[in-house]
């Protein structure tokens, strides 16, 4: 897959910064006891927090359509690579010490945000290809309308029929109800196109209704099966879309909480005099 | 097999013939019977022949294939059947086995589902009036139902929930009794043991930290009194600059060499203007440029020859036998206040075993007393000669009375014997001089420490004496001070691989805390 030019540039910037930061840390750790309150430790911390603010600003820049401050592609590529770098900088800031519980919580939140971002980047590379394999000529909204149309058709076939017939209709309609948080359950479920066992199922159902209703029941079952196929197509499409969207439910909210914890950590550093001013 | 299609067009009907086994119906460009209507799938259905006749097969279309108003997956075709697909209405004119199939195709404005719905709706209304009730299908927004965002569960609501949880947690943590959550490391063992104002220091951050100003030296001095390091020191470092807490170190008093070298690397930069250092101006390492230990001269009047006493073949003791002496035979290591160092040399304990102070062969077991006034020697001999014992335990007045009672010959003889033992035995080690009529020995002054700014203890130096005091076996003069050289010390101190401290091992920054 061709890589955007800005991606190559930021990859190189990332590698250079990583080498420089690692070399600086080893030099610093040999000279003195490494911890967050040392001069170098504070330097790493300040750089890390500034990076976090810059990375969080991407959410605003993404929606600031009139901005000329860099292209969106450059912002995206820098967001990815600097996002990984910030985790390394913060680890250098800790100096390998993890006693301050608030600081550790801040670091864990950073790890969650960074890992979810990496997951999102991977998903954006892999999922669209899978999506094209299941996309049909109808969009999700059109499929939804078709499903309701077929349901109305089934209702009209079942209207005025025997109780058993209408019970079968109700059961078929109930089976296709999405349920609460259906979109979230889609992410975790393993979807398979089940082989049709219609002949056995249909034979059983046909035996439940009077003989004069069996033809109509067969019609309704055909429509119901078409409806199920259609719904499965919708589910397959929507699942990939949900996967593409799901990681943002972790990445964005935890970023906000991270900013809060980082602020508390910084205030505490000034309060307890670990940073002297 | 072939198919003949009669299709209505603007100028009447158009006839098209396809010689193929299969007639494809759909919206795709490969379909022989095409429709642009979106209700028709790309590959909607096919009509194929077999030995028995013609069959239409739905290829999984969304909108379905209807034969005579009924949705079918596969159906045998006969003359007169009406096939409805999307907007296409196909009438089967002929469907005989083995003969071409003739189809009349017409397009309608409305998709077939609409025709079917109208028919089904009419029939269902008729039935509802006769049998079971009418049913109404629920209208479901499937697209919305399968989306992630719910009316009350969006990213914004999740942010709000997490923020509330975070703020509640933070509000608990900032309570004065919960400040241990901010602690960057355990405190030293001493601070962990002690309390101030009834609260353990380890749990009372304010005991050391002034809010917004950090650790204040005044807080340290509440417990720790200290003297200055040097009067001319410019900008003395704060307590925490050398004794950093929260680093899980058991003893804060152990300070690394780097802290000392920070100033002593170039001392002139850390002294008040116009002052000069009284010690070496540049010391960056004990092994590299630390000054050599200054030469010392022992002015002690006591004479001692280490070389003679440490002969490998030994030295004759009082019984005439050769005895090999060791360093610790005289310089016994004793524990004083937890430290182990050589105890003071005692003549009775360390020397008298060989250096007997007998004065007359007639009294082989009697010796004159050592130490104290030289009078005791004269008195001891006189007492023995005159037959009175135990004179050493008498007071000076009592001794004088004894002497007065002795006869002249006894006095003279005892004086001779006393002077003999002094000249023979005492002079071996002591400086003897005439003081009036008596010989007197100059009392020795034994130095206990040669460095006034250095603390040294043998406690941890469990090595061979010769390793450091290598000059002892060759020393013949008392004035030789047998201190080890700096080179001997750098065998261990000053090498990073041995991890033995340097500066703090010998030097102190300020007085020990009280």
DSSP B474-502: G---TTB--PPPHHHHTTTTT-TTTT--S
Residues of chain B with pLDDT under 50: 109-112, 129, 513-514
Q: Are B76 and B95 in contact (CB under 8 A)?
A: no
Assess whether pLDDT exceeds 70 at residue A257.
yes
Neighboring chain B residues of A230 at a CB cutoff of 8 Å: 62
Give A149 to chain B, closest Cα distance, Å: 9
Phi then psi for A25, rounded to 5 degrees? Answer: -65, -45
Give A223 to chain B, closest Cα distance, Å: 7
**Helices A198-206/A214-246 angle, 10° precision:** 130
Assess whether pLDDT exceeds 80 at residue A104.
yes
Of A173, A170, A204, A257, the C-alpha closest to B158 is A257
Is A140 in the B-facing interface, judged by CB distances under 8 Å?
yes
Map residue A125 onto helix, strand or coil.
Answer: helix
Assess whether pLDDT exceeds 70 at residue A243.
yes
Give B203 to chain A, closest Cα distance, Å: 14
Task: Render pLDDT for A167-188 as a digit per residue (tens, 0 to 9).
Answer: 999 999 998 888 888 888 888 7
DSSP string, A217-255: HHHHHHHHHHHHHHHHHHHHHHHHHHHHHHTHHHHHHHH
**Helices B396-405/B375-385 angle, 10° precision:** 40
Contact at CB, B148 and A226, closer than 8 angstroms: no
Q: Are B57 and B71 in contact (CB under 8 A)?
A: no
Tokens 């490391």 belong to residue: B185
Q: Quick one: pLDDT at residue A1?
A: 44
Which residues in B177-198 are b (16+ Cβ under 10 Å) and which e?
eebebbbbbbbbeebeeeeeee
Is A248 in the B-facing interface, judged by CB distances under 8 Å?
yes
Is A258 in the B-facing interface, judged by CB distances under 8 Å?
no
Check residue B4 and report its DSSP letter: E
Neighboring chain B residues of A223 at a CB cutoff of 8 Å: 64, 71
Of B469, B507, B453, B483, the C-alpha closest to B296 is B483
Map residue B358 onto helix, strand or coil.
Answer: strand
Q: Quick one: pLDDT at residue A52?
A: 95
Number of cross-chain residue pairs from A and B with Cβ atoms under 8 Å apart: 194
Rounded Cα–Cα distance for residues B237 and B229 (Å): 10
Q: Quick one: pLDDT at residue A256?
A: 94
Rounded Cα–Cα distance for residues B389 and B429 (Å): 27
Contact at CB, B247 and A35, closer than 8 angstroms: yes
Rounded Cα–Cα distance for residues A130 and A260 (Å): 37
Give B179 to chain A, closest Cα distance, Å: 10
- % of chain A surpassing 90 pLDDT: 37
Contact at CB, B137 and A151, closer than 8 angstroms: yes
Neighboring chain B residues of A222 at a CB cutoff of 8 Å: 64, 71-73
Q: Which residue of A has its CA nearest to B149?
A: A183
What is the value of pTM for the model shown? 0.66
How long, in residues, is chain B?
514
Rounded Cα–Cα distance for residues B67 and B84 (Å): 6
The shortest CB-CB distance from A268 to any of B60, B113, B182 is to: B182
Q: Indicate the pLDDT class of residue A29, thresholds 50, 70 and 90.
A: very high
Residue B40 CB-density burial (10 A; 0-12 exposed, 13-18 middle, 19+ buried): buried
Give A53 to chain B, closest Cα distance, Å: 17
The token pair that represents B435 in the structure block = 């003081």
Q: Quick one: pLDDT at residue A169?
A: 92
The CA-to-CA distance between both ends of chain A, in Å, stands at 51
């Amino acid at each position: 897959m061709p890589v955007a030019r800005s991606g190559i540039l930021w990859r190189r910037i990332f590698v250079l910064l990583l080498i420089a930061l690692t070399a600086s840390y080893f030099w610093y750790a040999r000279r003195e006891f490494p911890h967050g309150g040392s001069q170098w430790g504070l330097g790493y911390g300040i750089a890390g927090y500034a990076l976090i603010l810059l990375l969080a600003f991407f959410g605003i820049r993404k929606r600031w359509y009139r901005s000329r401050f860099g292209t969106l592609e450059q912002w995206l590529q820098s967001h990815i690579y600097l996002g990984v770098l910030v985790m390394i900088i913060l680890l250098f800031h800790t100096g390998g010490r993890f006693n301050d519980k608030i600081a550790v919580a801040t670091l864990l939140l950073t790890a969650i945000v960074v890992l979810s971002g990496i997951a999102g980047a991977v998903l954006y590379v892999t999922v669209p290809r899978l999506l094209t394999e299941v996309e049909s000529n109808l969009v999700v909204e059109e499929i939804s309308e078709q499903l309701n149309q077929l349901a109305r058709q089934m209702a009209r076939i079942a209207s005025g029929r025997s109780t058993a017939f209408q019970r079968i209709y109700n059961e078929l309609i109930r089976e296709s109800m999405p349920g609460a948080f259906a979109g979230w359950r889609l992410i975790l479920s393993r979807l398979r196109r089940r082989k049709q066992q219609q002949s056995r199922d249909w034979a059983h159902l046909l035996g439940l209704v009077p003989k004069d209703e069996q033809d109509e029941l067969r019609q309704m079952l055909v429509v119901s099966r078409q409806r199920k196929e259609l719904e499965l197509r919708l589910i397959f499409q929507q699942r990939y879309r949900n996967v593409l969207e799901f990681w943002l439910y972790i990445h964005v909210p935890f970023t906000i909480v991270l900013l809060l914890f980082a602020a508390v950590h910084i205030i505490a550093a000034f309060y307890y005099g670990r940073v002297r001013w | 097999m072939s198919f003949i299609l009669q299709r209505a067009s603007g100028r009447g009907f158009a006839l098209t013939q396809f010689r193929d086994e299969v007639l494809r119906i759909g919206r795709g460009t490969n379909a022989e019977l095409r429709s642009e209507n979106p209700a028709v799938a790309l590959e909607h259905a096919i009509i194929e022949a077999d030995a028995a006749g013609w069959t239409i097969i739905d290829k999984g279309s969304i909108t379905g294939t209807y034969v005579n108003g009924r949705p079918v997956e596969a159906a045998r075709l006969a003359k007169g059947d009406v096939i409805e697909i999307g907007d296409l209405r196909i009438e089967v004119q002929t469907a005989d086995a083995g003969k071409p199939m003739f189809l009349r195709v017409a397009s309608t404005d409305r998709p077939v589902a609409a025709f079917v719905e109208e028919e089904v709706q009419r029939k269902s209304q008729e039935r509802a009036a006769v049998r079971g009730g009418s049913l109404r299908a629920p209208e479901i927004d499937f697209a919305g139902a399968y989306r992630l965002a719910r009316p009350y569960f969006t990213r914004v609501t999740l942010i709000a929930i997490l923020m509330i949880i975070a703020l509640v947690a933070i509000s608990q943590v900032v309570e004065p009794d919960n400040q241990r959550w901010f602690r960057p490391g355990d405190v030293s063992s001493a601070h962990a043991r002690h309390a101030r104002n009834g609260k353990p220091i380890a749990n009372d951050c304010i005991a050391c930290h002034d809010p917004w100003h950090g650790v204040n030296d005044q807080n340290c001095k509440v417990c720790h009194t200290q003297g200055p390091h040097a009067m001319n020191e410019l900008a003395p470092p704060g307590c925490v600059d050398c004794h950093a807490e929260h680093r899980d170190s058991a003893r804060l008093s152990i300070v690394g060499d780097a802290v000392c070298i920070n100033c002593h690397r170039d001392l002139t930069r850390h002294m008040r203007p116009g002052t000069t250092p009284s010690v070496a101006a540049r010391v960056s390492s004990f092994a590299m440029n630390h000054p050599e230990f200054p030469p010392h001269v022992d002015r002690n009047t006591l004479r001692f020859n280490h070389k003679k006493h440490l002969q490998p073949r030994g030295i004759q003791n009082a019984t005439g036998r050769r005895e090999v002496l060791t360093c610790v035979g005289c310089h016994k290591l004793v524990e004083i206040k937890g430290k182990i160092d050589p105890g003071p040399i005692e003549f009775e304990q360390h020397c008298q075993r060989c250096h007997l102070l007998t004065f007359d062969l007639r009294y082989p077991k009697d010796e004159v007393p050592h130490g104290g006034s030289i009078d005791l020697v004269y008195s001891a001999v006189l007492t023995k000669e005159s037959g009175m014992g135990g004179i050493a335990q008498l007071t000076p007045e009592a001794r004088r009375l004894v002497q007065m009672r002795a006869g002249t010959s006894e006095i003279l003889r005892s004086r001779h014997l006393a002077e003999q033992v002094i000249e023979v035995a005492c002079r071996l080690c002591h400086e003897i001089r005439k003081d009036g009529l008596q010989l007197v020995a100059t009392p020795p002054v034994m130095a206990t420490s040669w460095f006034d700014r250095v603390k040294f203890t043998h406690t941890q130096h469990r090595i061979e004496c010769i390793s450091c005091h290598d000059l002892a076996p060759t020393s013949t003069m008392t004035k030789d001070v047998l201190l080890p050289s700096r080179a001997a010390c750098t065998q261990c101190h000053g090498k990073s691989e041995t991890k033995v401290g340097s500066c703090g091992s010998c030097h102190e920054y300020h007085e020990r805390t009280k």
